[in-house]
Structure 1
């Protein structure tokens, strides 16, 4: 069995969905499970719906572009509006509108997960119907019935034992299965999500539970590059890398592979391929056990919109283990992800990701105990396998606030 994952860029329009068909026809449809993300920028659009809902704004106005976008894709694929896919999509929007009408919770994370998941439900419904329309028999599987999680909305943790039992009982290994990335459900059957860009992780979960032969992530780039082409000029393709190297790159923020994806694959030594859906015959990048990075060149990663926080004690005493333990308990409480740490005798600095928007609460708590300085809107740059030329090029025309060097990695917190 093989697991394929198609991201939002690969199904952003009717031509993209048709290209999924071409890839499957080229690779074969038997013994495949395909994981589909929300189409294009649908997740961003759904986040606007959540914001409008909680602000008691015009939800219909926010939702209308999402409806029009998916209807345009349907028309491009089926033409005839009598096709059942149109009705199925309308029904999904009715479900969403019912939730928005009758829900009473104002918890952002809970509402987010109940709303945003419709992006994946819409995309898989359309892809499954189109494949059937083209004569390819497939089973549409609701991932929420398989991937069981805790109730940490927006960053749910997988309950592996129950998830494996559900996947093994529901996936028809002989046929083609279409399912959603990014989503699951808790013990109360409320929808949960696995973290932004979590569809890769979904592919890893299914592959692990099914003992898959391999996983292929189909992207709009040739494979894993040594730099993001949207940020850096002339990136180079990495032909192959080890699990450990891929985990390091993902941890530092490389956007090609979700950080959690590699862990289940590594445990069972399931190879991962990252390939271009525009040129499916090209080899792409292979991620396997024990193979060194090739070519061994500097790899550049940037994480934008970070926050640099520097703490010192109010009486200039040492920052001790007790203080650090207190600080990290607050990070855990406010769901703060720490991307870099640096400390001295009387100061402690961290670069954090404020994706749960709890920065103000955190700072208020910290100021009761520490002297606090912070910068918002900074960027965290990382170079794996650095050399002096790469570091000099990265530092050029930037105000560097913090720099940290280890054997293989340089990290800079800078104002661009």
Structure 2
């Protein structure tokens, strides 16, 4: 069985959905598990609904806009009397009904119940359209298969139960399901983190023992840099699992950081291809380590730089580190880069949940701290160390680090 994943850009409008169907006809839709993200910018729009709900604004006006967008897309795909239009109405009725009845004050819980609806609706539209044009498939609810704990917005997968559930799927069939979501033991929806649809695809690939997994993007494959941010980038036609994991960790947006480990464990070949030019080979990620290393550039924006120093000039010791990293875990803040000296520690942080100021306030009770917001982490993989001067041009460098041939700098 093979696993395909299509992101929101691929189904942003009716023509996009039709193009996905074209790709499936070209590539073969037999014995396929297809994972799809929410349509276009739907996730962002549903996040605004949640914001409006918690700030006592008119969220119904926002849900109405999102619903109309989905109806407009469906009108370009289905006859007027198709059942999909009633389904769309029901999905948005459920959102409004949940928010009207909800008693939970927990933002992350409400977020997951509402924002996950984007994938539910997009997968139904795509599944029904494929049936409409003769590509038979079974729509399945990812929440029945991917089980997690109750860490809303960052669900931790129960691999044993998830694998047991997914192995019940008949590998001879073709299926459409959702990325990004699972459910906890009480069957409440839990999301797997932003951009988690790639991770969903890897979960299915691992549990199904898939022959291959392909993520379809609006780029030719994994490039030596984001073409929107860097000039003269080129395609990486092949990289190893290890290189891909490193690139994802450093912030390469084309691959979700959690995606690679499940695939590597079972040596499942992984392809990143273009849904615009699906005949092109794209990038293959595999266990083969015999390939040409090319200088690659990764820019991770919207980071925070936190410097921590002891007040009495004592060493940053193990007990200090334990306390600091306990606080990072408490506030769900991830470390992108770390640098330490005898009496200080500098951390480049990724703060998805807006907790860096709380972290700083807690740490400065015991330490001298300095928090710099809105910095960028620039990483050069396979750097030509004889020509590094060009990377410093026009940048204010707050921190830098060189490990082997990987150069990193935090800039303002």
User: Structure 1 residues 387-396 or 173-182, which shifts more?
Assistant: 387-396
Could you say what secondary structure the match of 1:77 adopts?
coil
Query: 1:12-411 counterparts in 2 under 5 A?
Result: 12-78=12-78, 80-169=79-168, 171-294=169-292, 296-388=293-385, 391-411=388-408
**Structure 2 unpaired stretches of 5+:** none
Structure 1 segments of 4+ aligned residues over 2 angstroms from their partners = 290-294, 388-394
Any conservation in 2 of the 1:35–1:179 contact (CA below 8 Å)?
A: yes
TM-score by length of 1: 0.97
Q: Are 2:63 and 2:92, in contact at CA under 8 Å, matched by a contact in 1?
A: no
CA RMSD of aligned residues (A): 1.1
**Distance (Å, rounded) in 2 between the aligned partners of 1:253 and 1:303:** 5
Quote the offset at 1:109 in angstroms. 1.1
On the 8 A contact 2:220/2:235 being kept in 1, the answer is yes
Q: Which moved further from structure 2: 263-272 or 24-33?
A: 24-33
CA positional deviation for 1:122: 0.8
Deviation for aligned residue 1:207:
0.6
**C-alpha distance in 1 between matches for 2:144 and 2:165:** 7
Indicate if the aligned counterparts of 2:378 and 2:409 stay in contact, CA closer than 8 A: yes
* Distance in 2 of aligned mates of 1:176 and 1:145: 17
2:49 and 2:59 in contact (8 A); partners too: yes
List alignment gaps of at least 5 residues for structure 1: none
- Single out whichever of 58-67 and 349-358 deviates more from structure 2: 58-67
Residue 297 of structure 1: CA displacement?
1.6
With 275-284 and 285-294 compared, the bigger mean Cα shift is at 285-294
Counterpart CA distance in 1 for 2:216 and 2:259 is 14
Q: For 1:368-392, what per-residue CA distance to the aligned partner results, in whole angstroms no more than 9, with x for missing partners?
A: 0000111000001111101146633
Q: Relative to structure 1, is the Cα distance of residues 288 and 395 closer, same or farther in structure 2, using a 3 angstrom cutoff?
A: same
- Call closer, same or farther: CA 1:366–1:44 in 2, change over 3 Å: same
CA–CA distance in 2 between the matches of 1:65 and 1:393?
46
Q: C-alpha offsets along residues 50-107 of structure 1, whole Å, 9 cap, x if unaligned?
A: 11111111101222221121111111112x3311111111111111111111111121
> How far does residue 181 in structure 1 lie from its aligned partner after superposition?
0.3
Which region of structure 1 is more displaced relative to structure 2, 284-293 or 322-331? 284-293
- Aligned 8 A contact 2:360 2:371 in 1: no
Give aligned pairs, total: 412
Q: 1:240–1:291: 8 Å Cα contact kept in structure 2?
A: no
Give the Å deviation of 1:140: 0.3
